[in-house]
Amino acid sequence: MTAAPGRRSSTFTRLLRHGFTDISAAERLLEGPELSPVRSDPILLEALGATADPDLALRGLVRLLEAQSDHTALRGLLDTLIAAKPLRDRLLGVLGASAALGEHLARHPRDWEALVTYEPRDLHPGVEEFERGLAEADDPVALRVAYRRCLLSIAARDVCGTTDVAETAAELADLATATLRAALRIAMAAAPQDAALCRLAVIAMGKCGGHELNYVSDVDVIFVGEAVEGADEGKALRAATKLASHMMRICSETTVEGSIWPVDANLRPEGRNGPLVRTLSSHLAYYQRWAKTWEFQALLKARPVAGDLALGTEYVAAVEPLVWKAAERENFVVDVQKMRRRVVENIPAAEVERELKLGPGGLRDVEFAVQLLQLVHGRSDASLRSGTTLDALQALAAGGYVGRADAVQLDDAYRFLRSMEHRIQLYRLRRTHLVPEAEDDQRRIGRSLGLRTDPVAELNREWKRHAAVVRRLHEKIFYRPLLDAVAQLATGEARLSLEAARERLVALGYADPASALRHLEALASGVTRKAAIQRTLLPVLLAWFADSADPDAGLLNFRKVSDALGKTPWYLRLLRDEGAAAENLARVLSAGRLAPDLLLRAPEAVALLGDGDGDGGGLQPRGRAQLEQEILATVGRAENAEQAVTAARGVRRRELFRTAAGDIVSSYGTETQPAEPDQGALVDRVGAAVSDLTAATLAGTLRAVVREGWGDTLPTRFAVIGMGRFGGHELGYGSDADVLFVHEPREGVDEREASETASRVVAEMRRLLQIPSADPPLLVDADLRPEGKSGPLVRTLKSYEAYYRRWSLVWESQALLRAEPVAGDEELGRRFIELVDPLRYPAEGLGEDAVREIRRLKARMESERMPRGADPKLHTKLGPGGLSDVEWTVQLLQLRHGWAEPGLRTTRTRQALGAACAAGLISAEDAETLDEAWVLATRVRNAVMLVRGRAGDTFPSESRELTAVGRYLGYGPGRVGELLDGYRRTARRARGVVDQLFYGV
């Protein structure tokens, strides 16, 4: 009979109100024969509606009722279900949260009786209680069934709120301990002859060792074996290995009952490549000689759980002193942080936003932060030596190593994220840390956590909120207590001791912790608004400094800038309110000497580090026209030439800082902006910016000199021709400006007077650009002029023409390939270029004699100009595959083919190389090899200047400087060897191309 419409509508409303989503299926199951004795009881519907997934709970209940073997068993279950609220809540709670446990109950319908009564000891059963539950299991299948039965009781306490997430994790670890013991017992019973030969201890690691296991997780273990008295050690270890392997198979193999969980022994010495079982002495020998930092971090959670517990206890006691010395290892914190970054980098891009454990703001962030602080401070404070994350966090807060408010927030976030993880795994009893995308799954998880109004939206909101807290505190807790150690705190508030603060600074890479603490005290102490803002900024800044090659320099420079700008109202507001400014400043101040030196001479340039306008913000280099317009305007306002050039040099210093800072930020990357992947684009940007700035400065200096000495017009036309890297738009931070000076007397002016005037202009320009001041000098080098240092500094256009027609050598034609007007009379500059074009792009190309002469000059330069004691393979300019090799090869192609290939008529190396490839003069592979070598060598030279504050063509010998160069080039901490090997490899490949194309070998 069909239900009346009114009754059906009422049922629909009731089911919807109680959380059912598949109303038709729910109605059908409720009307079925299995529930006929109780369907009218409103208690059942209320209880189903209280579960995480009422539809799942109802389906599981019907299947359980169908599986009862006889009427008596069915009646007993129904009566108990209605009459006993605790059982009803436990059973339906499990059925509504776990499809896998519902299937287990359908296969083993009497196992529900494990939930009938709770003795006081059942509320928090220990290992012994679980061992009793597994005692009768004498084969792998029986063990799996007994394991699931025990798991039922844990899940019931969990979903009903009888235990919190930490207690549930501890119970799961205890059940795992009992299971390992039962599995080893079965393995030993199967091979008593092996068991008689050895002592075997099972050491739990990871979450099992830390008493914080998931529902489904690999159980990490290490095996320690010893021979019994009188037994041969080799035979004993082989026997122990067989037992350990059998025990692992019992737990890991999958049958109709599923598997228990994989047992993972890869945390053992040498990982999967090492022996499964070692003696205690073998373990110690490995840890003392070969172990990496992460292995000591893993040993934090080591705990003997099965087998010979005396041997296991001996193992833990033996390795414990090594664990608490791990923080004294070189690059300790760097190693830990690098491992954390590697974990994040290995997450598939499609999963990173759903990764609850490993992603940014996930569980691993909390665990890494806590473990790092334990290892740093646990050396002297035994109260921190807990393998359980939340217990350790509480101890860190009690000792002042983490702020109490931060610890509370981190505890809350960790508990919420672990609860999510538990509910996700409980559903299918599968090992996963990904938040499911399906709305039904998210609804079930949200309801299981008590989010009932809008479960999906509330779940995502809470998840994101807690993840954001973890991301923020993950870094803050390393550095905030350092400020508390030097700032005034409320009476009775725990804080990091000064000695503990020093230990933490050393571990984080600060070489002079005493000075660092003095800087922190100067910056953060007091009750002023300035000190309060500094206390907000410094935890994050300290993290960025510690991520650099020289944290001490970063902190010192920050103090200097803050002292200089401390009373400037916009300074701290800029760092606090503009997202990019603070991180950009930290990167710049800790990346070397050049940029901080430029900034400290005029600290107001900090304003450039803000978000700015447009792509690249305030660090985007300005164009030649903008620069020249500003410098000429500045010169026009000055009272005399010296003041004018001083002002122009001030603009140059500011713009050099802008370019250097932008280069550093693009090379290092920031949290919001990854490092620039196109290294060639970085090199081109820096080269063009510095070259444009140099040209604008020369133009301003020329205007100032002319205005003071001759008014608006010189008696001779005057132009500056850029040469070398200047003409090629490839200047580096430490490059001189190679130039030629050319003039032409105006009509009616005596040539002698014109020459004297031009010479005075050149002398005054060079003098003003090199006057000692707070601004870096601009060195003007005219050594590429005719007759070199012996020739006049400035010539007329006719004089150049006569010289080049009669005396020019092939090397001068080669040098003129880079000639380009940069300042002064534009028409005269254009005519100079017309004059030299036939020399640098000779008709029909170079003859063989000229080619041989160029090769001879190159070989001579390589042998004579290499500095004594320098490693040629690491010399970026003159070494094999260095700048000289690439540039001379490209220039030879230009000299030979420029007359016929217009694309080769450029002053820029990379453009000429691209044109040669397009013209078929060089293969694409060879062109790429030369380009890569040239870009790398140029970047090394720029890096050396940024790091050391002075130019250099070789890698620094001092380790911190070399590390800083490596960081600029994209090599993280501890990868200096890779940096040097990478350079040698790139240069070696380039030299092979040079030998073929330039020398014809």
DSSP state of 780: E
- State the Cα angle at 370 between 579 and 498, rounded to 5°: 80
Average pLDDT score over residue span 840-862: 91
The rounded distance, in Å, linking the Cα atoms of 1001 and 998 is: 8
Average pLDDT score over residue span 103-118: 85
User: pLDDT-derived band of residue 380, with 50, 70 and 90 as boundaries?
Assistant: confident
User: pLDDT-derived band of residue 492, with 50, 70 and 90 as boundaries?
Assistant: very low
The rounded distance, in Å, linking the Cα atoms of 157 and 153 is: 6
Number of CB atoms found within 10 A of residue 518's CB: 15
Burial of 943 (0-12, 13-18, 19+ CB in 10 A): buried
CA atoms 165, 171, 176, 179: torsion sign: negative
User: pLDDT-derived band of residue 9, with 50, 70 and 90 as boundaries?
Assistant: low
- CA 11 → CA 29, 82, 436, distances in Å? 13, 20, 31
- CA 681 → CA 279, 728, 939, distances in Å? 56, 15, 11
**Whether the predicted pLDDT of 1 surpasses 60:** no
Provide CB contacts within 8 A for 702, sequence distance 6+.
Answer: 718, 720, 761, 765, 823, 824
**Whether the predicted pLDDT of 663 surpasses 90:** yes
The rounded distance, in Å, linking the Cα atoms of 909 and 928 is: 13
**Whether the predicted pLDDT of 149 surpasses 90:** yes
Q: Answer left, alpha or beta for residue 275, where phi above 0 means left and psi between -120 and 50 means alpha.
A: beta
pLDDT at 670: 67
Nearest to 733 by CA among 935, 593, 942, 940: 942
The more confidently predicted of residues 453 and 80 is: 453
Highest mean pLDDT among 224-228, 356-360, 709-713: 224-228
The rounded distance, in Å, linking the Cα atoms of 901 and 922 is: 13
pLDDT at 491: 41
HSE (side-chain half, CA atoms, 13 Å) at 670: 23
Quick one: CA torsion of 755, 760, 766, 768, rounded to 10 degrees?
Answer: -160
**Whether the predicted pLDDT of 3 surpasses 60:** no
The more confidently predicted of residues 404 and 883 is: 883
Average pLDDT score over residue span 785-789: 89
- State the Cα angle at 321 between 320 and 324, rounded to 5°: 90
**Whether the predicted pLDDT of 60 surpasses 70:** yes
**Whether the predicted pLDDT of 617 surpasses 60:** no
Q: Residue 396 is encoded by which pair of tokens? A: 């860190």
Average pLDDT score over residue span 245-266: 89
pLDDT at 55: 95
**Whether the predicted pLDDT of 601 surpasses 50:** yes
DSSP state of 202: E
Q: Are 959 and 966 in contact (CB under 8 A)?
A: no
pLDDT digits (tens, 9 = 90+) for 731-786: 999 889 999 999 999 999 999 999 999 999 999 999 999 998 888 899 999 999 99
N- to C-terminal Cα distance for the chain?
Answer: 99
Residue 793, Cα to own-chain centre: how many angstroms? 52
DSSP state of 355: B
Mean pLDDT estimate for the chain: 89
Provide CB contacts within 8 A for 769, sequence distance 6+.
Answer: 645, 649, 697, 701, 777, 778, 779, 780
Q: Are 658 and 619 in contact (CB under 8 A)?
A: yes
pLDDT at 306: 97
The rounded distance, in Å, linking the Cα atoms of 9 and 765 is: 96
pLDDT at 117: 55
* Poorest-pLDDT segment among 48-52, 69-73, 204-208, 270-274: 69-73
User: pLDDT-derived band of residue 974, with 50, 70 and 90 as boundaries?
Assistant: confident
pLDDT digits (tens, 9 = 90+) for 686-721: 999 999 999 999 999 999 999 999 987 899 999 999
Nearest to 257 by CA among 366, 103, 468: 103
**Whether the predicted pLDDT of 614 surpasses 50:** no
User: pLDDT-derived band of residue 123, with 50, 70 and 90 as boundaries?
Assistant: low
**Whether the predicted pLDDT of 475 surpasses 80:** no
Average pLDDT score over residue span 318-329: 89
pLDDT at 675: 77
pLDDT at 612: 58
* Poorest-pLDDT segment among 548-557, 723-732, 834-843: 548-557
Average pLDDT score over residue span 897-901: 95
**Whether the predicted pLDDT of 6 surpasses 60:** no
Name the residue type at position 807: W
- CA 519 → CA 438, 485, 560, distances in Å? 52, 12, 10
